Structure 1
Amino acid sequence: MASGRLSVVVTRRLPDVVETRLMELFDVKLRSDDTPMSREELAEAMREADVLIPTLNDRIDNGLIGQAGPQLRLIANYGAGVDHIDVATARQRGIQVTNTPGVLTDDTADMAMALILAVTRRIPEGLAAMQGGNWDGWAPTSFLGGRVAGRRLGILGMGRIGQAVARRARAFGMQVHYHNRNRLRAEIEDGLEATYWESLDQMVARMDVLSINCPHTPSTFHLMNARRLKLMKPSAVIVNTSRGEVIDENALTRQLKAGQLAGAGLDVYEHGSQANPDLRSMPNVVMLPHMGSATVEGRVEMGQKVMLNVKTFADGHRPPDLVLQALD
């Protein structure tokens, strides 16, 4: 801090307006290209910086935190999820961790609804036929999908995003059901016209569509395992805009290949960008490259949250989005 300003390292390219403002406020080292940092580059950044601004691609484990310099006092994550950061070890080392909750609620809920429609109405199949020049004209039995109105939607995880999905689903005439670690307050539940299921097993066995909206934690890893996936109706559809690790991807692939699930809409994958290759060839599987938060407005608002957290920290106050512990 020779210049009197915090030394900040950003691990990925951010929207121009965010990078410009960061340079105005802090002594910032920006990423010149949009590739993830190597582990060695992350370790060097943590040895030099007062503040690290990582993204979900950067695994900040206890080994890296152990290499951090004594001046590193804040990891201001660009994103809501912090399962890639060893929050407990960071706190033991006196390093605060912040995130950007709330700003991507509507964007992610929009994408969940888009995937529900895409799978049930076979939109990608129609798109492929048109783009490939393989459409010979309308026919009474071609590209038959299913009506979403009246279908039972089960929401796994009824936080901000789950509730936003519920509001959208009700507008489409779907029946909303949910399983959550804690039941919602009666007034919220009534407002969403949502039915609570204490038993996840019983809920998934009765749903037409299942939307995954819970975070990845040790308790939610493979929450949708092979046994639970087999409980779902063969006519059911599963959609995931949360974290890929919540679903056993290999078990899901087997269910789909066996015709024991009608389809899947996936924006996230268990092993990051390395999705099960068998999923790519299935016409009833809609796969997106983690686009749930990919709006200009959302990404800029994430940056604004990061800057507010860093500026508040620099002023000697508690950052507003301080993560006290990893979710469990």
Structure 2
Amino acid sequence: LFRSHSSETLCALPARKKGVTGITDPELEGYDDIATCREFDVRAYLGTYIEIDGGSDRTFAFVGSETRDKPFSADEREFLRSMGQWVKYELEQHERERELERTVDRLETSNERLEQFAYAASHDMQEPLRMVSSYLQLIERRSDDLSKETREFLSFAIDGADRMRAMVDGLLAYSRVQSDGDPLEPVELEDVLADVRSDLQLRLEETDADLDAEPLPRVRGDGDQLQQLFRNLIENAITYSGDEPPQVDVTAERNDDEWTVSVHDQGIGIDPAEQDRIFDLFDRLHSREAYDGTGIGLALCERIVERHGGEIRVDSEPGEGSTFSVTLPAATTGATDP
């Protein structure tokens, strides 16, 4: 194996021809002064040009230390071409893998910077928002001295500050999924759902909601994040239940080394054309007048599921309810799954 500038080697010949070059006797054919012939005693050469997509062009060759009495045959040339195609494939595959690694590195760096920015921006916004809210509440306590119109404007301002604080809190949670998450370990989803049910008890009673669940498995995950995930999904099911009392069902199905856990509701449903949007940060399908919310909940769910190596999807039709399904890794250490 040797490296040299192509203009000083026999490899320059197939590169110029963009094809196969055969030399049976460099001295007789006038190539004896080329560096590779002198330094490496190359007395026979059969090489082909390889054009590499996304990389430097190459040549691939067979060389010999003795001259040949007859030209290279068509079979020998065809074999060289076949070998050249194999080398071309391997080199291009290697170049694609290197480019993919570079792209992944750039994306990881970009994501880290975006997470740092989102965390810093939302964290730094908390104190000014607290101050604004505090002063608005002080003014509200003296609302007897204000006109009706001014009290109305004050109400709008307080509502706006509250919504902004909720968005900042959601953005903080979103930016912390990767950096502040606990290690993934065996977690009983039965315990997770019990905590969610406790958190939402008042909401369940106020809406006369019925929350039913099959026996749930043990998975590998971050317990706090899984609680956030299912609280968001169940709270959404309650919010978008329509005019009837909410009926929410949680089911689980084993698929090889993962579980698919689904949250079903019988609510207003989602138009299939809009379903890709619901996981976008700050994207909302409904006005705030119709349904309250920040537009962060489902984006946060997707981020949590991705951190667990799973996927989240929705199956829904308008007026027929929605089913949100998430895949989570099964726990394999001493778990007794239902």
- TM-score normalised according to structure 2 size: 0.23
- Greater helix content: 2
- Greater strand content: 2
